[in-house]
Structure 1
Amino acid sequence: MKLKYNIFVLNSLLITSAFASYLLNHELIGKISEAEVIAMSTIPNNQELCHKKNHELNNQDEINILARTCHEVVGNVEILKDYQDKYVDLSDIEKIHGDLSVHDCSQIISLNAPRLDTIGGGIKIKDLTSLVSITVPSLQNVHNIEFVTLPLLKDININRDIEQLDKLIISDTSLQSIESFQNVKKVNTLEINNNRYLANIDLHVDIVNEKLHIYSNADQAQVNFAKLSSTGDLSIRNAGSFNLNNLEYINKSLDIIENSIDQINLTKLKKVVGTVAIIDNDNLKDVNCNNLTHIEGGLLIINNDNLKNMDFLPSIHTIGGAIQIDGTFHKVTFEKLKVIKGGANFRSQSDKFNCTELLEPLMERHVIRGENLTCSSNMKNQSNLNQSNVTKISYNKTKTGKATGMKESMSSQTEITKSDSSAPSTTENSSKTGKVKSKKNSGLKLTSINIYGIGIWFLITFIFFSMF
């Protein structure tokens, strides 16, 4: 009897221990499930914070929340124009898969992004009238850089290893140097204008695909593109000197207008797809384009008062448009010219220019294919040529300067559509949380059933041993 009783006690202890262990196990499971519910309910919130089409920020506190949560931000980051602080500090943000835009914030003094290494779109900072410095020292990957209408901007600290850009625009700043961009080798659009203290523009760019415009910077600005071999539309204005000694191809037009240069050396230039315009360069005395053979557009050489001898195109044999040469020149020669597809207009205020000497060889070789031909000078006893059906080739002086430059630069602004379509919806979040909770509830129901079954088994065992 005593043995049976001991067996009963031992069996009871084992059952009780198993039961206690079961309850403890399920208690821990209950706690883990609760933590999982909390975690799963917060994950969509982080996704919503880090993944938006536009992250619109009103103050530094909102930037801090974004930076602490998201080292990698999907979507555009936009500092709104009613931004309330003087500083923008992106702190721990490393990647932005969109644009970084700051527009129309007159109170911002500095922008700092110490760890930002990638911008999927562009950095666009425009119309910040108090901004003094921009610091993005780790930036390696970016498509567009646009710094426009930042009249107090004096300091840019950007990683100098950037070699390729779609667009680089620096307009209306107080910068004295753009060395941060010195190693850019390939760019589609490059515009540097209206930077009144920028006296030296020295870049190592090799290829500009679409547009290279330099104008209205410091007086007598020195422009150096010594490695440039090919460019799209090229316009240089208001410069004191420029170096384009390696340039071979201009795939659109060439404008050299209103500079204080005394010489132009384009010794390697072979072809210009558009029009060549050399206009209003008062100090220009010498031009060298010895290897230029094709100009597929027109040729305009106008009001260069010190350029007396137009003999700088000895290899040219095709001009696809019209010619207009106007000034105080003494002589014009085209030794190898075979065809001028448009008309021709030569007008000199000099008493040394001889129309007959220029035109007779051209007319004998049937070089001028257009119907319109005029020539005039102040040489005595000369019959000026004026063919019938003359069409005047007019030139309206291009106005440069701050207002025009700003207007051209501002036309490149793009608007960012504001929507949050990519963020997870609240309905989806609540449904996910609901599923987790329902799993937990069914687990608790299962626990209750198991406890009830163990209790019945314990009672049957007790009755069984009591019978002996």
Structure 2
Amino acid sequence: MCKVLFLLGTKLRFTFILCSSYWFRILDLEKKKCRNLFYCKSKMQLFKAYFCALLALSVASAKRAYQQEEVADYDNFDFDSYDIDLNEIIPMSTNSNSSSEENQKEEPSPDKCSKDRYEIENLNDMKDLHDCKVVKGDIVVLNYKEPILQFGHINRIEGNLEIYNAPNLVRIEAEEVRHVGKAFILSELTSLSLISFPSLRFVKVLDWKVLPILNSVHFSNEIKDIESITVSDTSLIGFSGFMTSKLENLDINNNRFLETINCDVEKITGKLHIAANSKDVKVSLPKLEYAKNVSIHDVLDINLEKLSEIESSINVIENNFDTFKLPNLKSIGGTLSILQNDKLNSVKFPNLTEIGGGLMVVNNSNIDKVNFFPELNIIGGALEIVGNIKELDFDKLKLVKGSAKIKSSDAEFSCAAWTKSDMSSVIRGGKIECTNANNERIVSNTPTENGKKVTTTESGPVKMKVSSGGNKNSLNSIFYTFLAVIWSTVF
């Protein structure tokens, strides 16, 4: 190391002497020309470059010498003079804790239980797995010809359980299955009437479709942590028994005998879809606070008392209830559609302040007054009201970003009075169209400024108008500033 430092010092002294002689030579030969400031500055830059180059060469040379010295030292190192006593190394703990952890691990499955996928086509294929406590992969039953499918002593399926296209299958019996690691899928089982999984405690996804005569399901009431539920086209009369606070999807549709849907879910990150079940179906989701999309069709009664936020849209279409209320709902990110609910006569949204999309209240026979949005401030899309409308009342509405269409079948509703009211002044996104039973039809454009449309961006109390004019002057200013910076850097 001392050699390297000495070499580096020698090279730096040599660099200093060489650069000094070069600089004095420049001053001696060029002192008459230095009256020109630009010329002298160029010589100074040349000297700086020359000095930096020599300095870099010196440091690089010293570094190479240092590396060579390290290699030489490593080659001359006497490894035999250093002994390592393995007895001094502290061994890892081998106490009873480690043995207990090993005992807690699952016993390894036989090879026949550890495949990635099992395709079951007949009774013998299934019997081969009956003595497996744990099946590591997916069980896929396809074109099964027997009337009964039994799972023997299988306790745990770590993959999917999938059963497709088995028209002769009548019963599925899995008395000991407690765990399905991924999805439980049933599809196109047209003779299936009974599913028995009395010990089931865990399944991630339930996806049942086209099970037209399925009317009996034996599940425990303790299924936890399920993530998605789809039940479609069955003959079930009730749906309940899932203990989960969060779902991706809850989709219950086309179950023509289904009378009750009960679930304690608190958050649905995908869709809530209830449609085309029994005309008398009652839906109770008393703990639901958040949903991304909501679609409610053909329901007799619904409880969504705690629902406070809908991220996207909600559709309430062709239902049989007379009252629909969402007392805690504060915001809807998309569109609110209330369409063709013939028995509906009472609607309540007492705390709703904002609708991000449009608002549609269309052809609800018993609604003649739209006065159930007392706190609504903003409608982000269009407003469409159609029906036997006598009165429109939006006391706190300040902005409708889309157009407005009002079509009343009541002869007493005056389009002329409505278009001249304060209500019409908040509509900003297009035309206003109003028609009543007397064939009075008024069409007008929404307010504009100086004959030209102006885009207005709102952020609290601040409003910023954005015109379509160019920014030529600002671009020129940036260009010339850039040139000035380049000039000062080079010269």
What TM-score does the superposition give when structure 1 sets the normalisation length? Answer: 0.70
* Residue 418 of structure 2, aligned match among 358, 363, 371: 358
Say whether the 8 Å CA contact 2:202–2:224 is kept in structure 1. no
* Displacement after TM superposition at 1:175 (Å): 0.7
Say whether the 8 Å CA contact 1:323–1:343 is kept in structure 2. yes
Structure 2: unaligned runs, 5 residues or longer: 1-107, 447-491
CA RMSD of aligned residues (A): 2.0
What secondary structure, in the 3-state scheme, does the structure 2 residue paired with 1:147 have?
strand
Aligned pairs for 1:12-411 within 5 A: 46-47=110-111, 49-68=112-131, 70-81=132-143, 83-181=144-242, 183-362=243-422, 366-378=425-437, 384-387=441-444
Say whether the 8 Å CA contact 1:163–1:185 is kept in structure 2. no
Alpha-carbon deviations, 1:52-78, whole Å to 9, x = none? 22200112222121121x211111101
Say whether the 8 Å CA contact 2:339–2:362 is kept in structure 1. yes
* Displacement after TM superposition at 1:355 (Å): 2.5
Say whether the 8 Å CA contact 2:241–2:263 is kept in structure 1. no
Identity of aligned residues (%): 32
Decide whether aligned partners of structure 1 residues 292 and 58 sit closer, same or farther in structure 2, where only a CA change above 3 A counts.
same
Partners in 2 of 1:373 and 1:257 — Cα distance? 25
Partners in 1 of 2:164 and 2:441 — Cα distance? 59
Partners in 1 of 2:271 and 2:162 — Cα distance? 23
Alpha-carbon deviations, 1:217-255, whole Å to 9, x = none? 112211221221111110110111211111111111100
Aligned pairs for 1:407-426 within 5 A: none
* Displacement after TM superposition at 1:46 (Å): 3.8
Alpha-carbon deviations, 1:86-118, whole Å to 9, x = none? 111111111111100001100011111111111
The one-letter code matched in structure 2 to 1:142 is: V
What TM-score does the superposition give when structure 2 sets the normalisation length? Answer: 0.66
The one-letter code matched in structure 2 to 1:328 is: N
Alpha-carbon deviations, 1:379-398, whole Å to 9, x = none? 58xx5321259xxxxxxxxx
Of stretches 307-316 and 195-204 in structure 1, the one that deviates more from structure 2 is 195-204
Of stretches 213-222 and 58-67 in structure 1, the one that deviates more from structure 2 is 58-67
Decide whether aligned partners of structure 1 residues 241 and 358 sit closer, same or farther in structure 2, where only a CA change above 3 A counts.
farther
Partners in 1 of 2:363 and 2:109 — Cα distance? 67
Q: List 4+ stretches of structure 1 deviating above 4 A.
A: none
Partners in 2 of 1:72 and 1:184 — Cα distance? 25
Say whether the 8 Å CA contact 1:165–1:188 is kept in structure 2. no
The one-letter code matched in structure 2 to 1:100 is: L
Partners in 2 of 1:61 and 1:197 — Cα distance? 36
Say whether the 8 Å CA contact 1:354–1:379 is kept in structure 2. no
Partners in 2 of 1:164 and 1:369 — Cα distance? 47
Say whether the 8 Å CA contact 1:149–1:172 is kept in structure 2. yes
* Displacement after TM superposition at 1:45 (Å): 11
Say whether the 8 Å CA contact 2:434–2:441 is kept in structure 1. yes
What secondary structure, in the 3-state scheme, does the structure 1 residue paired with 2:420 have?
helix
Partners in 2 of 1:299 and 1:316 — Cα distance? 11
Say whether the 8 Å CA contact 1:355–1:375 is kept in structure 2. yes
Say whether the 8 Å CA contact 1:199–1:220 is kept in structure 2. yes
Say whether the 8 Å CA contact 1:305–1:329 is kept in structure 2. no
Say whether the 8 Å CA contact 1:232–1:252 is kept in structure 2. yes
* Displacement after TM superposition at 1:316 (Å): 0.3
Partners in 2 of 1:218 and 1:367 — Cα distance? 42
Alpha-carbon deviations, 1:300-325, whole Å to 9, x = none? 11110110110000100011111111
Partners in 2 of 1:367 and 1:163 — Cα distance? 49
Decide whether aligned partners of structure 1 residues 373 and 318 sit closer, same or farther in structure 2, where only a CA change above 3 A counts.
same
Say whether the 8 Å CA contact 1:195–1:216 is kept in structure 2. yes
What secondary structure, in the 3-state scheme, does the structure 2 residue paired with 1:165 have?
coil
Partners in 2 of 1:357 and 1:52 — Cα distance? 75
Decide whether aligned partners of structure 1 residues 179 and 105 sit closer, same or farther in structure 2, where only a CA change above 3 A counts.
same
Partners in 2 of 1:293 and 1:165 — Cα distance? 33
Alpha-carbon deviations, 1:256-275, whole Å to 9, x = none? 00111111111111111110
Say whether the 8 Å CA contact 2:149–2:169 is kept in structure 1. yes
Partners in 2 of 1:361 and 1:124 — Cα distance? 57
Partners in 1 of 2:389 and 2:251 — Cα distance? 33
Partners in 1 of 2:270 and 2:203 — Cα distance? 18
What secondary structure, in the 3-state scheme, does the structure 1 residue paired with 2:223 have?
coil
What secondary structure, in the 3-state scheme, does the structure 2 residue paired with 1:326 have?
strand
Say whether the 8 Å CA contact 2:203–2:224 is kept in structure 1. no
The alignment covers a number of residue pairs equal to: 340
Of stretches 199-208 and 297-306 in structure 1, the one that deviates more from structure 2 is 199-208
Q: Which has the higher contact order (CA 8 A, sep 6+)?
A: 1
The one-letter code matched in structure 2 to 1:387 is: S
Say whether the 8 Å CA contact 2:404–2:433 is kept in structure 1. yes
Equivalence for 1:404: none
Alpha-carbon deviations, 1:148-185, whole Å to 9, x = none? 1111111111221123322101111111112333x333
* Displacement after TM superposition at 1:363 (Å): 5.7
Structure 1: unaligned runs, 5 residues or longer: 1-43, 390-468
